[in-house]
Chain A
């Protein structure tokens, strides 16, 4: 028998080098940033970087589940803009009836989550019930959401009423124990996402479906429902990200959330989630988001390279991350 060669049940593997790669890259970036600019590790700068990462971060956590189960969502940036537009219009419309106050802000938040849920549900139903490729579905809804928000704004900007804006501002600018709200919410989302991916049926099913949806189907997994849920979850998280984002500027326009989808997908890939699905790593996604923001931040703080080259460096890192992934899978 083979008992002798079967290792103990409790034996847990350390993450492999390729899994730690993004983490090492993040540490390198921090060291680099600190050596280039004294201001880099200041509380102000760290808060700034993390708070800006939070929007993309929350979306990217949701995107991790979508990609892990073999899907894709290109519509999230436009969706965020659309949700922001509807949310602001809704709050402005409710203002005469409800007056400036916490209930109005809560109503706005409810609108954001509701619209996010519906948008995600729409994407999900088109993918699962109409059986259209996720790429095609979300390419379509990306255009639809973007055009709708531009139409709602009549080509300009939708602005939140000034009084409400003053009340709502602290959701972005204030925090708890000196930590900004977006950072706290992002941290909660990330931890919950990591736990859901690793320790719940939902996460396991996402991986199984992405790995081979036929096997999942034959194994009594409700493939359609899990797929649908990943898009709904992503829609809700886009809504949540928008709730944190709107108080920052207090407005929405046709260019809100531009290219967020690509940043979110890039963060997921850099973090080690397989683009073809089957393997998801939420903490990796968080690392990926931080890497992308840090590059941006360092280029602005340090005078080494033009900040205009930000996209170039991010692009190189994305391609490099995928090359690393391929090396991993072919050696396995």
Chain B
């Protein structure tokens, strides 16, 4: 076994009083692909930030060639040969490939030596066996080519350690194959690679060594072939549900909403499901699997096709107003950019979507204040002053206000996207109790979440989305984290079917995904 190029020794990281990495050890070796896997929030991105020099560990150290390496910036790490390729590429879209590759270290003196930079870029791209032209503008390149440019840029920095943060997430199947060939080429050249992906079959295919992370700690390390995809999923999960979730006791009533062959181009295709009164339907899936697009299509924020029935009657919904008229409301995942006006007061935010109810032609400020008083009491919104700008509220109180705002229209069908993102545990359980109460009142609730325990703890039924389609549906007592993770990751059909023992309905066909 060769000596590690880069090593993490007892790395811990705290933000304020909260420790999110609890002493992580692992090593990257030359000519080896090391996969780092774990659920959202397990600490993968923090580790990558530490390795890339963007964040300093609270204790422990990063060693490069056996010597402590404390970079103060990403640039210093890069100079030492440690290069990170981020999910969002760091490329200037209006510059050419060559200009991007030499950005910040242009060749030439007073005048740029375009010719030399083009030649240098061409040499790099040839080495990668890529047909991209150095004169092409990044803007005009497909995503896979941009990925390739990032790799070329990393190579031009003489990267010895290359960190790839979910490089396949944005690529098509064919593009992933190209990417894999490049990764194998780099491995053969002796580069140490760290690779993260939610797609476990890629990990099986690529990784020489696997580290599984859970809740900020390494729970499993394995060599190639030692861990099956099932084993990885189990290792990533393995967590008891906390009792912050209300007991499920919903008595589902009549069908309130039914979708048949519902599509939101270009991502979401052929979705069919039913939603009953008094039911909480969880929608799980990776970021980018089309969950939010589906919800936004349903409430008229995006153009959609297919059949939607409300209480059995076909409806067409082309705007949020029309959705509201059908008793449907959507609570966005992006409360700061799409949910609330941060520079306005609580009152103005609360009533924005239901303003016609507060008097015409003149708005009754007294009735607005009344509604705010009620919302503050009902949703336990804690604001030091009523006339505070919403941007100054804590995330939890913002979310409660957003809930209050959404509920003011008294919807029958509520779609809540990431109900507790960035919110402390105390507020979380309040919001869960609230969602439970909604279902208890006979409303239909859809909860979209990346938080696995949340999906499991709240949902009567779970739909799993993958790449814009329903990958499967789980219901009743049979909803288990392992099953959901399998569907989310898209591991083999047999394994999932065996484990779930028939409670999984494979939804690759429209017929298969509808069941009551």
- Interface on A for B, CB 8 Å cutoff? 1-2, 5-7, 9-11, 13, 195, 199-201, 204-205, 207-208, 211-212, 214-222, 278-279, 332
Provide the residues of chain A in CB contact with B344, threshold 8 Å.
207-208, 211
Question: With A201-B363, A217-B301, A222-B321 in contact, do A7 and B352 touch (Cβ < 8 Å)?
Answer: no
Q: Is the CB of B320 within 8 A of A219?
A: yes
Q: Is the CB of B324 within 8 A of A220?
A: yes
- Cβ of B433 within 8 Å of any chain A Cβ, yes or no, is no
CB distance from B324 to the nearest CB of A (A): 5
- Cβ of B370 within 8 Å of any chain A Cβ, yes or no, is yes
Provide the residues of chain A in CB contact with B321, threshold 8 Å.
220, 222
Stretch at the interface among B18-26, B241-249, B379-387: B379-387
Q: Is the CB of A200 within 8 A of B370?
A: no
Q: Is the CB of A9 within 8 A of B352?
A: no
Provide the residues of chain B in CB contact with A11, threshold 8 Å.
386-387
Question: With A208-B344, A220-B353, A278-B343 in contact, do A6 and B361 touch (Cβ < 8 Å)?
Answer: no
By beta carbon, the residue of chain B nearest A274 is B343
Question: With A199-B362, A218-B332, A219-B320 in contact, do A6 and B337 touch (Cβ < 8 Å)?
Answer: no
By beta carbon, the residue of chain A nearest B346 is A6
Question: With A207-B344, A214-B337 in contact, do A201 and B385 touch (Cβ < 8 Å)?
Answer: no
Q: Is the CB of B386 within 8 A of A215?
A: no
Question: With A2-B382, A9-B370 in contact, do A204 and B301 touch (Cβ < 8 Å)?
Answer: no
- Cβ of B360 within 8 Å of any chain A Cβ, yes or no, is yes
- Cβ of B5 within 8 Å of any chain A Cβ, yes or no, is no
Provide the residues of chain A in CB contact with B387, threshold 8 Å.
7, 11, 13
Q: Is the CB of A201 within 8 A of B343?
A: no
Q: Is the CB of A216 within 8 A of B352?
A: yes
CB distance from A167 to the nearest CB of B (A): 36
By beta carbon, the residue of chain A nearest B355 is A201
Q: Is the CB of A214 within 8 A of B338?
A: yes
Q: Is the CB of B363 within 8 A of A200?
A: yes
CB distance from A18 to the nearest CB of B (A): 15
CB distance from A142 to the nearest CB of B (A): 29
CB distance from A11 to the nearest CB of B (A): 8
- Residues of chain B in range 17-52 having any CB-CB distance to chain A below 8 Å: none
What CA separation (Å) do A317 and B373 show in the bound complex?
42
19 intermolecular pairs with C-beta atoms under 8 Å apart: A1-B382, A2-B382, A5-B385, A7-B385, A9-B370, A9-B372, A11-B387, A201-B363, A204-B348, A208-B348, A211-B344, A215-B341, A216-B352, A217-B338, A218-B332, A219-B320, A220-B353, A220-B354, A278-B343
By beta carbon, the residue of chain A nearest B300 is A220
Provide the residues of chain A in CB contact with B301, threshold 8 Å.
217-218
Contact of A200 among B361, B376, B386 (CB under 8 A): B361
CB distance from A207 to the nearest CB of B (A): 7
Provide the residues of chain A in CB contact with B341, threshold 8 Å.
208, 211-212, 215, 278
What CA separation (Å) do A9 and B377 show in the bound complex?
14
CB distance from B353 to the nearest CB of A (A): 4
Contact of A204 among B332, B352, B380 (CB under 8 A): B352
Provide the residues of chain B in CB contact with A218, threshold 8 Å.
301, 320, 330, 332, 338-339
Provide the residues of chain A in CB contact with B356, threshold 8 Å.
201
Q: Is the CB of A2 within 8 A of B353?
A: no
- Cβ of B389 within 8 Å of any chain A Cβ, yes or no, is yes
What CA separation (Å) do A201 and B376 show in the bound complex?
23
Nearest 6 pairs of A and B residues by beta carbon: A219-B353, A9-B369, A220-B320, A219-B352, A211-B341, A199-B362
What CA separation (Å) do A9 and B337 show in the bound complex?
28
Provide the residues of chain B in CB contact with A332, threshold 8 Å.
343, 389
Q: Is the CB of A6 within 8 A of B386?
A: yes
Provide the residues of chain A in CB contact with B323, threshold 8 Å.
220
- Cβ of B212 within 8 Å of any chain A Cβ, yes or no, is no
What CA separation (Å) do A216 and B409 show in the bound complex?
15
Question: With A215-B338, A215-B340, A218-B320 in contact, do A201 and B389 touch (Cβ < 8 Å)?
Answer: no
What CA separation (Å) do A207 and B369 show in the bound complex?
19
- Residues of chain B in range 261-302 having any CB-CB distance to chain A below 8 Å: 301
By beta carbon, the residue of chain A nearest B389 is A332
- Beyond the given A200-B361, A217-B320, please list 20 additional residue pairs across the A-B interface where CB-CB is below 8 A: A5-B385, A7-B385, A9-B366, A9-B370, A9-B373, A201-B360, A204-B363, A207-B344, A207-B348, A215-B337, A215-B341, A215-B352, A216-B352, A220-B320, A220-B323, A220-B353, A221-B352, A221-B353, A279-B343, A332-B343
Provide the residues of chain B in CB contact with A13, threshold 8 Å.
387
What CA separation (Å) do A216 and B385 show in the bound complex?
24
CB distance from B432 to the nearest CB of A (A): 20
By beta carbon, the residue of chain A nearest B296 is A218
By beta carbon, the residue of chain B nearest A200 is B361
Provide the residues of chain B in CB contact with A204, threshold 8 Å.
348, 352, 355, 363
By beta carbon, the residue of chain A nearest B334 is A214
Q: Is the CB of B352 within 8 A of A212?
A: no
Q: Is the CB of A5 within 8 A of B384?
A: yes
Provide the residues of chain B in CB contact with A5, threshold 8 Å.
384-385
What CA separation (Å) do A5 and B344 show in the bound complex?
19
What CA separation (Å) do A314 and B321 show in the bound complex?
45
